Amino acid sequence: MALLWNRQPSAKILGRFTATPQRFLRLIAGQVLWALHVLSLLHASWRRVEPPRRELLVNLMRSLPAAALGSVLFLGGCGSDIFPAETDPMTTVDPVTDFGLAIQDVYGPITWWVSIIGIIVLILLVAVVVVFRDKGDGSKPEQIHGNLTMEVGWTLLPVIIVIFILVPTVRTIFMLGDAAPDDNIEVKVIGKRWWWEFRYVPDGDLVTREIVTANQMHLPVDKHASLLITSDSVIHSFWAPRLGGKRDAVPGRTNRMWFRMLPDCGAVEAGQPCTNERPKPGEPVRYQGECAEFCGESHAQMKFDVIMQTNDDFRDWAKRMLEPEKPTDEVALAGMEVFNSVGCSACHAITGNPAANGNRGPDLTNFGLRHRLAATGYDVDDELLKTWIHKPDVLKPGASVVTNKSRGTVGADDGMNVVQQMPALDTDGDGYPNFSDEQLDQLVAYLRSLK
Ligand code: HEC
Ligand SMILES: [Cu+2]
């Protein structure tokens, strides 16, 4: 069963896949119960017992518990167990930033209002069905035509309800659409097929020169992050649910988004918005995100991490990105030679390795500090890295040029895939040399030493 949601059983999948077998069963059971409910209603209406057509009502009442239980199971399958953030890193109802909270402040009250309205409507509906049911004595109900009061009422009431929803929604949209507060760090976010590039705009303080990295965005906790989101390929959508809502990444257009983590609960008065999750010195906090707009074969593997750090830790990280340490280990140094001689350096840039200055693939500066491989939920380890270098497709469908071409999938020769994707190195005839195992080990040692 595990194979259903884990294509790569050998790889360690981190807390990203929240689809546990229990949840899966709950979803199925919920649907089965609902299907029974609907079937029972259909059955009753087919039989059309005359007179009276009580059968339908009776069946409705009888199968209602099944439907109710089905709904509970189904929603339980989607939702979280007691602590949302712990079991569901992608929860949308437990925000930790001002942006996330602003959305929650609209979403929360509206959910309550519509629940109450929904319950009132249901009660009225059931009451009408019961009170005005066919009593079986052949009598006709009173015939009426037009009722001004009711018509005005059911026009005005929805208008008022919609205004109640509209005002806070529009206010929040405008507030979040404004420019970011001055105290910010600006990062250009570029959606690629299928990974994320982050380019830090120098601010003369924390970031002295442009820093480029991929799939793992570091942010200082006390500043607003001001993201300039775009795409170099198709439309993607940047979404880290605990930090805030989605923003489309559209080619040729820049969408903005800004947020800052809420203050620490120990530092504010009770009742003020706050979070207990702020990073401490040396203890960053990781938030997960993913692409939320279907963008092709490996859309589901287009994930990223946001690493929240104290300002000082962030400063250290930035410094290290600009001046990484040189590898000293002999194997790693040999790996650098391989990297530069077999063509990796034509697509990947590495600060500190002047020969590596390509820009088609992710910037690999300090790659050894990254947790994940190639924007997926795979924890980086040596074996995985070897698999990736040999055949990226095994870990990420469509990620390699060669397999794409030979499989003849749509887009295989659209120019974009062919130049941009990562080549699979062990396939003959693709212009890249085959490796000896020793060279592969050296390459992996080099990549892992970059920190
Ligand atoms: C034709 C360009 C190209 C060449 C040549 C190339 N790569 Fe890549 N590489 C890419 C692209 C594009 C990606 C991103 C793929 C993805 O995540 O979907 C990538 C991803 C990677 C990653 C994962 C980066 C991350 O952020 O997790 C590693 C590691 C890597 N390449 C190593 C290498 C090595 C080692 C070589 C040489 C043996 C090499 N690449 C040659 C284009 C290239
Ligand atoms: Cu995408």
Ligand 1 mean position to 69 CA, how many Å?
Answer: 49
Which residues crowd ion ligand 2, with CB under 5 Å?
236, 291, 295, 302
Can you give the pLDDT at residue 433?
53
Ligand 1 mean position to 357 CA, how many Å?
Answer: 13
Q: Minimal CA–CA distance to 206: which of 323, 311, 325, 285?
A: 311
Q: Minimal CA–CA distance to 421: which of 383, 385, 386, 388?
A: 388
Specify the ligand 1 atom closest to the Cα of 343: 5
Ligand 1 atom 2 nearest Cα:
347
Residue 2 CB contacts under 8 Å (≥ 6 apart), including other chains: 9, 21
Can you give the pLDDT at residue 227?
93
Which ligand sits nearest to residue 194's alpha carbon?
1
Ligand 2 mean position to 415 CA, how many Å?
Answer: 18
Can you give the pLDDT at residue 136?
77
User: Contact 208/322 with Cβ under 8 angstroms?
Assistant: yes
> Which pair of tokens denotes residue 172?
């929040």
Ligand 1 atom 41 nearest Cα:
344
Q: Name the pairing type of β-strands 224-231 and 184-191.
A: parallel
Q: Minimal CA–CA distance to 225: which of 290, 307, 284?
A: 307
Segment 96-143, tens digit of pLDDT: 999 999 998 898 889 888 999 999 999 999 888 888 877 778 788 788
Mutate which of 197, 336, 348, 353 for ligand 1 pocket (most atoms within 8 A of beta carbon): 348
CATH of 330-449, one of 1.10.760.10, 3.40.50.300, 1.10.10.10, 3.40.50.720: 1.10.760.10
Rounded to 5 degrees, φ, ψ at 218 are: -95, 140
Domain range summary for the chain, segments of one domain joined by +: 1-83, 184-322, 330-449
| Ligand 1 pocket, CB under 6 A | 194-195, 214-215, 339, 342-344, 346-348, 360-362, 373-375, 389, 396, 399, 420-423, 425, 443, 447
Ligand 2 mean position to 402 CA, how many Å?
Answer: 21
Q: How many Cβ atoms are within 10 Å of 168's Cβ, its own excluded?
A: 15
Mutate which of 417, 418, 422 for ligand 1 pocket (most atoms within 8 A of beta carbon): 422
C-alpha 396/C-alpha 3 separation (Å) is 16
User: Contact 96/243 with Cβ under 8 angstroms?
Assistant: yes
Specify the ligand 1 atom closest to the Cα of 435: 38
C-alpha 392/C-alpha 396 separation (Å) is 6
Q: Burial level of 141, CB count in 10 A (0-12/13-18/19+)?
A: exposed
Q: Minimal CA–CA distance to 196: which of 306, 314, 285?
A: 306
Ligand 1 mean position to 348 CA, how many Å?
Answer: 7
Ligand 1 atom 23 nearest Cα:
374
Can you give the pLDDT at residue 422?
63
Residue 16 CB contacts under 8 Å (≥ 6 apart), including other chains: 89, 90, 288, 303, 377
Which ligand sits nearest to residue 234's alpha carbon?
2
* Distances, alpha carbon 177 to alpha carbons 99, 108, 185, 257, 261, in Å: 11, 20, 17, 8, 18
Ligand 2 mean position to 11 CA, how many Å?
Answer: 22
Ligand 1 mean position to 3 CA, how many Å?
Answer: 27
Ligand 1 mean position to 420 CA, how many Å?
Answer: 9
Outline where DSSP puts E strands in 263-357. Answer: 285-291, 303-309
C-alpha 380/C-alpha 448 separation (Å) is 9
The reply to whether the predicted model has a pTM over 0.75 is yes
C-alpha 96/C-alpha 98 separation (Å) is 7
Segment 42-71, tens digit of pLDDT: 776 666 555 456 667 777 777 788 788 887
pLDDT beneath 70: ranges in the chain = 1-23, 44-55, 76-87, 401-435
Topology at the third CATH level for domain 184-322 = Immunoglobulin-like (2.60.40)
Specify the ligand 1 atom closest to the Cα of 372: 27
> Which pair of tokens denotes residue 359?
């820009």
Outline where DSSP puts E strands in 193-302. Answer: 196-200, 211-214, 216-220, 224-231, 236-239, 247-249, 255-259, 285-291
Segment 224-243, tens digit of pLDDT: 999 999 998 889 999 999 99
